[in-house]
């Protein structure tokens, strides 16, 4: 238990980021559900349109929010010690 209590200051930013990401996921799900319900006409097309729209938004986020050629992510590789 002390290990968890002692690492609380280190994990606080991670917990905040996790909470923010969870909130964004629930918000996107709510908006998508409302769109499907409003567009419902008895056919599968409204659901397909919302799924396609989410795919286009995801592609745009990947293409324009995180453009190619930006800084490479820092990856550290630990080499085994003989």
pLDDT class of 32 with cuts at 50, 70, 90: very high
**How many angstroms separate the CA atoms of 22 and 30, rounded?**
12
Give per-residue pLDDT as tens, 33-75. 999 999 999 999 999 999 999 999 998 888 887 767 666 666 6
74: tokens are: 């820092």
pLDDT at 3: 47
Residue owning tokens 């056919």: 43
User: How many other C-beta atoms are found inside a 10 Å radius of the C-beta of residue 74?
Assistant: 5
Confidence class for position 1, pLDDT limits 50, 70, 90: very low
Q: Is the pLDDT of residue 2 over 50?
A: no
Closest Cα to residue 57, out of 79, 35, 82, 72?
35
């Amino acid at each position: 238990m002390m290990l968890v209590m002692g690492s609380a200051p280190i994990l606080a930013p991670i917990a905040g980021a996790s909470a923010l990401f969870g909130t964004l996921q629930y918000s996107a799900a709510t908006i998508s559900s409302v769109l499907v319900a409003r567009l419902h006409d008895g056919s599968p097309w409204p659901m397909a349109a919302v799924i396609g729209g989410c795919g286009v938004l995801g592609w745009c986020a990947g293409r324009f929010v995180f453009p190619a050629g930006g800084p490479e992510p820092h990856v550290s590789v630990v080499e085994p010690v003989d």
